[in-house]
Amino acid sequence: MPAASGKTFAVIDPATGREVCQVAEGDKEDIDRAVTAARCAFESGPWPTMTPAERGKLIWRIGDLILGHLEELAEIESLDNGKPLRVARVADVPLAADMFHYMAGWATKRHGATLPISVLYTPGVQYHSYTRPEPVGVVGQIIPWNFPLLMAAWKLAPALTTGCTVVLKVAEETPLSGLRLGEILQEAGLPDGVVNIITGFGETAGAALVAHRDVDKIAFTGSTEVGKLIVKAAAHDLKRVSLELGGKSPNIILKDADLDVAIPGAANAIFFNHGQCCSAGSRLYADASVYDKVVAGVAEQAKKIKLGHGLDPDTQMGPMVSEIQRNRVRGYLEAGEREGARAVTGGKAREGAGYFVEPTVLVDTTPDMQVIREEIFGPVVAAIPFKTLDDELIRQANATVYGLAAGIWTRDLSRAHSLAAKLKAGTVWVNCYNIFDSALPFGGYKQSGWGREMGDAVLDNYTETKAVTIRL
């Protein structure tokens, strides 16, 4: 429906810089309407009385419908975000459907426990005690622009499984797949008001959602900087908050690694999704004995990547999502050059139509450089040699405010297990990278967030535990 103000804003194709369409510019009044609808749906109507089995079947149907619209959704995602169509076909859309299918099964499997208790101050009195998992209530969800459809699925599926209702604020850069998903939810038979999708800007619609006193919880995926603002804004009424935030992930290649696997793996770790991936392996540590070969190999992989429009079947990497993001990445490249880093390949943001940045490999970096310390969120990797596998390497790998992911490449699994235990990261991949599954929890240490996405762990984000005790 139109925004209460009647305002709209343009959706831009990042590969051309041209307008695709206009969508409603929601603000505080639209958030108020959406929260009211979500509260009514949570407290009355068919949703709160729906059985777990019925809810599970409905959520499964959503997954089926997403697969039924795979080609359409992939094209929308490519046009809106800029990613190659083939990536959206094999990753974004199928994984979104899988998240709904996986969560559908949990609708009938969440349960409490009967607890034997011993109350010391009432001797001789018996009690029956048990716990109940209950939905947290009305949830405000704010998703990013790097995987718009998939992030919507990661947020919506567990919230629906637990019986919550939702106001979902999609990213202003990429609203189209979220709007199409809303139509799919209606087609699946989701009752009115259970999910309400808002298009608008973070500083207006997003801020109003976080501050709303009738929202019980906020779930946010995005930058650490915005995550901190959300925590501050939610503090006034102590809303529950879960956060999946940024990363500056170390990717470590040991001297015994299979370089035929590790080199393309390291390239994919940073260049997948144009480097616009919170888990991107943006700090590449390689043993000094193989460092030159690793750098040359990753640079060669980068040079082969064909940039272009996501709908072009030959494209391997699309543009940055927006002019702002391209300029941000360009700023980091310029800062790296000023501080003494050298680009082995790439190093430039392209001018003209579209927001393209060349895949870049940086060397001659030092730990105090911006390109080492800060999340760039673009196709830029900094390569660093190390001489011995010791505490100093671990210290360097962990010397970041982030703790989202890490990679290890080695044939020695004993060493891999030892390293994995020492890395301060929520996910560690060994001889692989960017491996995701709906059953596998994902989230970060330190300033990479609070809570976990996916797996059964995500259900805790949307559940309150109630203890009930009855005197017998």
Mean pLDDT by 10 residues, the chain (472 residues): 96 97 98 99 96 98 99 98 98 99 98 97 97 98 98 99 99 98 99 99 98 98 98 96 98 98 99 98 98 99 98 98 97 98 96 94 97 98 92 95 99 97 98 98 98 98 98 98
* Domain assignment present for 438: no
**Are 204 and 260 in the same domain?**
no
**Are 234 and 261 in the same domain?**
no
Catalytic option among 77, 172, 244, 375: 244
pLDDT (0 to 100) of residue 98: 99
Measure Cα distances from 201 to 10, 248, 320, 403 in Å.
12, 26, 19, 28
CA pair distance 457, 360, nearest whole angstrom: 36
pLDDT (0 to 100) of residue 122: 97
Region at 449 (left for phi over 0; alpha for psi -120 to 50; beta for the rest)? left
Does residue 278 carry a catalytic annotation? yes
pLDDT (0 to 100) of residue 51: 98
Domain count, the chain: 2
The bridge status of strand 405-409 relative to strand 427-430 is parallel
Among 257, 169, 154, 268, which Cα is nearest to 210's? 169
pLDDT (0 to 100) of residue 407: 99
* Domain assignment present for 52: yes
**Are 83 and 203 in the same domain?**
yes
- The CATH code of the domain that includes 116 is 3.40.605.10
**In this structure, what are the phi and psi dihedrals at residue 20, rounded to the nearest 5 degrees?**
-95, -45
* Domain assignment present for 185: yes
- Burial class for 395, CB neighbours closer than 10 Å (0-12, 13-18, 19+): exposed
Could you tell me if 334 and 103 are in contact, meaning their C-beta atoms sit under 8 angstroms apart? no
The bridge status of strand 114-115 relative to strand 195-198 is unpaired
CA pair distance 35, 185, nearest whole angstrom: 18
CA pair distance 351, 356, nearest whole angstrom: 8
pLDDT (0 to 100) of residue 390: 82
The identity of residue 107, as a single letter, is A
* Domain assignment present for 2: no
Among 24, 103, 113, 91, which Cα is nearest to 57's? 103
- Burial class for 294, CB neighbours closer than 10 Å (0-12, 13-18, 19+): buried
Q: Which residues 6+ apart lie within 8 Å of 313 measured at CB?
A: 85, 86
- The CATH code of the domain that includes 285 is 3.40.309.10
Domain that holds residue 414: 250-430
pLDDT (0 to 100) of residue 388: 84
pLDDT (0 to 100) of residue 268: 98
Please report where in the chains the tokens 């060349």 appear, as a residue.
358
Catalytic option among 77, 164, 173, 278: 278
